[in-house]
Structures are given as C-alpha cells and as structure tokens.
C-alpha cells in the first residue's frame, strides 16, 4: 500500500577530535551495502600512502578555485596552511538519485552549510565518552606536541557547544555499539511519514472492502453495540 521515495538520504557525520568517526564509518560501510561515503576534494598535496580518488581527490589550488567559481561544491572551507577542502555536488546528487544513502564526514561549519541547502539532511554527532578519554587517545597516538593538543581540545569544546544543531548524538565508547545506534537511526528515518511518496489500495483490497461492506449491510442481524 505504501510507496516510499526512492531517493537516498543525505547523512552528515561529525564529531570531536579522537571520537573515532573514521572507524565507525568504516564499519558502517562494511555492514551496509546501500551506504556511500562521499570523497572530498582538497588543494593540499598527498601525504604518505594516500591514494587519489580514495582518500581525497587531489587537485591544484587553481583547479579548486575553478570548481568554486563553477559552483561544484556543496560546501568548502579553507583550513590551516591555506589548503582548501570541499564536498562535491554532482557525485552526491547522482548517488542520491540512484537511491544510495550518502555519508558526508565533515566538520560543524560544513554541516551548517549543507543543512542550509538541504534541510532534510540527517545530522549525527559522534562523541568520545569523556574529555579524559580524548586526552588518553591523543597521547596514545603520540603525534602532536602540547601546543597542538591544546588547540585540539579548544576546538573540541567549541564543537560540543554546537551539538544542538544536530538531530542525533552518539557516544562512541564501543565501535560496534555506536554503529548499531547509527543503523537504528537510519532505519527510523526511513519510516518517517515524509518519506512516503504515495499510498495506494490494490484491486484485491478494494474487492475485500466491498465484500465486507455487502456482508454488513445485507445481514439482517444488527451488530451488537
């Protein structure tokens, strides 16, 4: 009876530093074939073993600017050291039309830009269990000096204050549990009334309805009230 919209859902996943967003998304993709992770464009050079078209689409600053001028991005931002990052518009639109659910792993500012363009976007914020756990995870990586750690903490506090802009918050104290919570969110979103395209009654159901009506009105026995 119910025909749901074929178009996929646009999902933004953001989170604080060391919240484990990447690990959670990786597990989500393994378990759900209908999910597609959007790959961002960047004007910065490749690092280490990064692969073009897998980690990012690496382009020159000039090419990135041309894409900005052509309106090719849903959102973009200039970050530290003058490098740009942007979310491609065309690829995402194609996947949504195919019925794929598209995940954007972007920060709070990018999420605001996309939400303004697509109000139906599902916003999920992932948090570590505590600031103490964030501190432990940063120290475990052993890749940053004290000044960089302080900057990360400051940004984490700023992002936490933006949680009220999101639809859902998921605490990642266990990756599998966090993944299951996000899967439950996506299932519930599919059941929303505004996802219904139309409601129709099949011929067989119409026949049953007419039969029941005939039985009721042609029966001399009045129903008990």
Block residue for tokens 């060391």: 18
Helix 131-141 and helix 146-160: axis angle, to 10°? 150
Contacts of 63 (CB under 8 A, 6+ apart): 43
Q: How far apart, in whole angstroms, are the C-alpha atoms of residue 125 and residue 74?
A: 19
Q: How far apart, in whole angstroms, are the C-alpha atoms of residue 166 and residue 135?
A: 24
pLDDT one-digit tens code per residue, 151-181: 878 888 888 888 999 999 999 999 999 999 9
Q: How far apart, in whole angstroms, are the C-alpha atoms of residue 87 and residue 170?
A: 23
Higher pLDDT, 7 or 134: 7
Whole-prediction pTM value? 0.81
- How many Cβ atoms sit within 10 Å of the Cβ of residue 108? 21
Q: How far apart, in whole angstroms, are the C-alpha atoms of residue 10 and residue 35?
A: 10
Q: How far apart, in whole angstroms, are the C-alpha atoms of residue 34 and residue 194?
A: 20
Domains of the chain: 2-38+100-218 (3.40.50.300)
pLDDT one-digit tens code per residue, 37-89: 999 999 999 988 899 999 999 999 999 999 999 999 999 998 866 899 999 99
């Amino acid at each position: 009876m119910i025909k749901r919209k074929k178009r996929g859902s646009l999902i933004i996943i953001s989170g604080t530093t060391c919240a484990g967003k990447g690990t959670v998304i990786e597990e989500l993709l393994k378990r759900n074939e209908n999910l597609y992770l959007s790959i961002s464009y960047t004007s910065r050079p490749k690092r280490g073993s990064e692969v073009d078209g897998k980690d990012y689409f690496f382009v020159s600053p000039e090419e990135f600017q041309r894409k900005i001028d052509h309106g090719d991005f849903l959102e973009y931002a200039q970050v530290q050291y003058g490098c740009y990052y942007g979310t491609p518009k065309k690829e995402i639109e194609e996947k949504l039309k195919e019925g794929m659910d598209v995940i954007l792993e972007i920060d709070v500012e990018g999420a605001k830009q996309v939400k303004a363009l697509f109000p139906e976007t599902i916003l999920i914020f992932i948090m570590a269990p505590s600031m103490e756990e964030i501190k432990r995870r940063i120290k475990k990586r052993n890749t940053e000096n004290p000044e960089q750690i302080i900057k990360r903490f400051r940004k984490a506090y700023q992002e936490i204050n933006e949680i009220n802009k999101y639809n859902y918050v998921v605490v990642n104290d266990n990756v599998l549990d966090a993944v299951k919570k996000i899967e439950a969110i996506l299932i519930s979103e599919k059941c929303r009334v505004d996802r219904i395209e139309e409601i129709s009654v099949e011929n067989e159901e119409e026949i049953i309805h007419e039969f029941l009506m005939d039985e009721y009105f042609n029966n001399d026995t009045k129903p008990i009230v």
